Structure 1
Amino acid sequence: MTTASWTLHCSACATAAALERASLCGACGQPLFARYDVVPKGTALLDRWDMWRYAPFLPLLPDEAPVSLGEGLTPLIESPELAKAVGVRRLWIKDEAQNPTASFKARGMSAAVTRARAAGMPGIVVPTAGNAGAALAAYGAAAGMRVRVIAPRTTPRPILDTIEAMGAELIRIDGHIGDAGKMALAYAAESGYFAISTLREPYRVEGMKTMGFEMAEQLGWRVPDVVVYPTGGGEGTVGIWKALQELAAGGWISADRIQPQYVVAQAAGCAPIARAFAAGADKAEPWVDPVTYAAGLRVPAPLGDRLVLRILKETNGLAATASEESIREWTLRLATATGVDAAPEDGCALSVLRDGVVAGRVRGDAEVVVFNTGSGASYRV
């Protein structure tokens, strides 16, 4: 397998860090990023049909087999009907529900569990709003590793059932994912398990960035005008942004358009990034009493807030919210227009996109990719 060498550096202050058991920057507490040598256009991609097709851009050792369940290479589905409904020229749905465990979280866990297994971790612990826990349970099982998942009791029941079906230890708590995060860190300190929450370690986002590689390749190695991402922790948006930077460095995409305009969609009942964006702030304050049907958006204090807000500033982006009623309305509209059984997070994305077009913040002649991050089936008992 063709692999790349990499180093770890802080995303904010550029301080270097060790490769294994890597967490936040020791100097400033911000997330770490993997850096690679430039992968020039024409470098052979792997003849395999999962995200590890892009191994030259990923943290993999020579002759190392990744922990894989066939994640990635999800379809990009064009919908003229939805394009007309929201008021843009062309619109595609990138359907991440077709990943193992039915969400985009599979990508990040494939990369992170691969690195955790190589480092000989005794186990892995994660706080979750749902999909990350299901994905870690599956990839932990595939790697033969012990897994503890800490989830709010309000997490959709089908997701909790999936976690238990994969043999993970599931701890249900009263409270939200922020409370689960504190418990996960405490348990990691006590047990030696590796805490693998969003952007607290550097490898989950490496798996997430393969969405950006795929999107560009599926569009003929070009970048759309707009990317809309329903955002809780922020690793999806950050990953796509990082991927396009790496492609541009190697000449895979045109220097005339390296990044799209990013639209971050949040639920009105939990919108720390949208609130910070509206205030012109460079970081988000924690959201008190987060409430939304879209469990993946119920993240009151995202660790990636500074990165996401920076990306929005760099790309003339937009962060805005949708009501619960509008989330349900657009989720149903998406399903009936496309046959994609989308999670409510994607209904939120379409609602925010439509509002952005009406307000003149998103151009009507734009080509837009909207990410469906999970499956509607995960919300039905």
Structure 2
Amino acid sequence: MHGRPSGAGLRRIQVTEMTNERWARSLECSGTGESAELDAPAFLSPAGKPWLVRYDLDPAKGQAWRESLLLRPWTLWRYRELLPVRDFEGRIDLGEGGTPLIRLQRLGPEGVEVLVKEEGGNPSGSFKARGLSLAVNRARELGAPGVQLPSAGNAALALATYAAAGGLPCRVAMPEDTPPFLFERCRQLGAEIHSVAGTLVEAGARLAEIDDGFWMLSTLKEPYRVEGKKTMGLELAEQLDWRLPDWILYPTGGGTGIIGMHKAFDELEALGLIGSERPRFAVVQMAGCAPIVRAFEEGQTSAQPWENPSTRVWGLRVPQAVGDFLILDALRESDGQAVAVEEDRIAEMMGRASRLEGLDVGPEGAACLLALEDLRAADHIVPGQRVVVFQTGHPANYRES
């Protein structure tokens, strides 16, 4: 299992801690390149596109930064110079990040090294903790009166968790058929709950009717969730001794993780810590809601909304992604693939992962393991390659009560 890196391969020198200098410098529109002030409230750019944080990076900083990591706790905050938080010492920190890579013994295709990035151990039980930690920290230090978002479930739980820890009022809207545990837990955390007929689209519309100044922290409609998610890419590089895998298979709703990891690898290259080679990304969606897969297969640069989405894999019931063009760019730049998985295969894979590997995977993780089999069968993945599969949430979050 790949957990905390050992530091093997580092030069044997005295390691000294770096300062709390923040390398973040500005925001940049992902569509036009327009710049904006970093420490002012920001949502979508004037062009209606996501803002991305830009940093002051050069190879002269890279080696000292890499060595300083040896002294730091194994959470996402070890990468603080590559995060935009202004008040590092005053941050909300629940121990998010630092999740293990688990090598499959019997479930993976023959000859392929498969590593599962197990995100279910994060606070709130999913990878959503990474992005919402950063988003809530920034909202709090920039003066938000409250925070809100529509969610298929796990993002609502993460937002409620970090808002409670930070003392911020919180409001979430979820489809009415979201598993009851998620409603119950958000309510326990003090969030205002809205149960809405329909999907994320209708949940978002419900929140748009309320005009009381709460900041909307929806996927890519503010700049900081992607910064939290990019730490998955920073961790992968460090856990694998700065050699990236051949493939990354990722369950994709809003796609913040793919966009974030793509960004992380570019930043590591700018620091001189990796070269120009990149993993091939594979988007994994459900056959009943696959807007990115359809757009990729049709050669489109953006994805049309999926009509009447139908899947019980809640995290993948996302009919439209604000960052669709960024996801598709990352796929094509990496020579990646997009896979739609049939609903009736999920339960069997969840059981097989338990029996063969002792892993308690959620439905999104099971979808990625099925995509692994499909990509191997199509000879996209071949023996001798190293593949990272994201297991993004603990199945306990989907229990009935």
In which range does the TM-score fall when normalised by the shorter chain?
A: over 0.9
Tell me what 1:70 maps to: 95
Deviation at 1:48, TM superposition (A): 2.0
Match of 1:82 among 95, 98, 107: 107
In 1, the alpha carbon distance for the partners of 2:399 and 2:380 equals 34
Match of 2:296 among 277, 294, 305: 277
Q: Which amino acid aligns with 2:384?
A: D
Q: Which amino acid aligns with 2:82?
A: F
Q: What whole-Å deviation, never above 9, does each CA across 1:147-169 have from its counterpart, x for those lacking one?
A: 00000011122222221111111
In 1, the alpha carbon distance for the partners of 2:30 and 2:340 equals 27
Summarize the alignment of residues 199-238 of structure 1 with structure 2, pairs less than 5 Å apart. Answer: 199-238=220-259
Deviation at 1:363, TM superposition (A): 2.6
Q: Is the 8 A contact 1:88 1:368 kept in 2?
A: no
Deviation at 1:239, TM superposition (A): 1.0
Deviation at 1:34, TM superposition (A): 0.2
Deviation at 1:60, TM superposition (A): 1.8
Query: What SS does structure 2 have at the residue aligned with 1:238?
Result: helix
Match of 1:252 among 265, 269, 273: 273
Tell me what 1:21 maps to: 41
Match of 1:185 among 201, 208, 221: 208
Q: Which amino acid aligns with 2:84?
A: P
Tell me what 1:10 maps to: 29
Q: What whole-Å deviation, never above 9, does each CA across 1:1-46 have from its counterpart, x for those lacking one?
A: 44323210011211112332211110x2111100001152321236
In 1, the alpha carbon distance for the partners of 2:79 and 2:134 equals 12
Summarize the alignment of residues 33-48 of structure 1 with structure 2, pairs less than 5 Å apart. Answer: 33-38=52-57, 39-43=61-65, 44-45=68-69, 47-48=72-73
Q: Is the 8 A contact 2:24 2:53 kept in 1?
A: no
Query: What SS does structure 2 have at the residue aligned with 1:82?
Result: coil
Q: Which amino acid aligns with 2:239?
A: Q
What is the TM-score of this pair, normalised by structure 1? 0.95
Query: What SS does structure 1 have at the residue aligned with 2:116?
Result: strand
Query: What SS does structure 2 have at the residue aligned with 1:98?
Result: coil
* Unpaired segments ≥5 residues, structure 1: none
Q: 1:269 to 1:47 in 2, by over 3 A?
A: same
Tell me what 2:323 maps to: 304
Q: Which amino acid aligns with 1:41?
A: Q
Match of 1:324 among 340, 343, 366: 343
Tell me what 1:96 maps to: 119
**Mean alpha-carbon deviation: is it higher for 115-124 or for 14-23?**
14-23
Q: 1:282 to 1:221 in 2, by over 3 A?
A: same
The number of residue pairs the alignment matches comes to 374
Could you say which structure has the larger radius of gyration?
A: 2
Q: Which amino acid aligns with 1:180?
A: A
Deviation at 1:364, TM superposition (A): 3.1
Summarize the alignment of residues 166-181 of structure 1 with structure 2, pairs less than 5 Å apart. Answer: 166-181=189-204
Q: What whole-Å deviation, never above 9, does each CA across 1:113-156 have from its counterpart, x for those lacking one?
A: 11100111110011000000000000000000000000001112
In 1, the alpha carbon distance for the partners of 2:221 and 2:382 equals 35
In 2, the alpha carbon distance for the partners of 1:102 and 1:184 equals 25
Q: What whole-Å deviation, never above 9, does each CA across 1:72-95 have from its counterpart, x for those lacking one?
A: 0011101131223xx452001000
Tell me what 1:140 maps to: 163
The ranges of structure 1 where at least 4 consecutive aligned residues each deviate by more than 4 angstroms after the TM superposition are none
In 1, the alpha carbon distance for the partners of 2:80 and 2:87 equals 10
Tell me what 2:15 maps to: none
Query: What SS does structure 1 have at the residue aligned with 2:62?
Result: coil
In 2, the alpha carbon distance for the partners of 1:260 and 1:171 equals 39
Q: What whole-Å deviation, never above 9, does each CA across 1:220-246 have from its counterpart, x for those lacking one?
A: 111000000000110011111111111
Tell me what 1:377 maps to: 396
Tell me what 2:51 maps to: 32
What is the TM-score of this pair, normalised by structure 2? 0.90
In 1, the alpha carbon distance for the partners of 2:391 and 2:223 equals 23
Query: What SS does structure 2 have at the residue aligned with 1:184?
Result: helix
Tell me what 1:60 maps to: 85
Q: Which amino acid aligns with 1:114?
A: N
Deviation at 1:352, TM superposition (A): 1.4
**Mean alpha-carbon deviation: is it higher for 332-341 or for 167-176?**
332-341
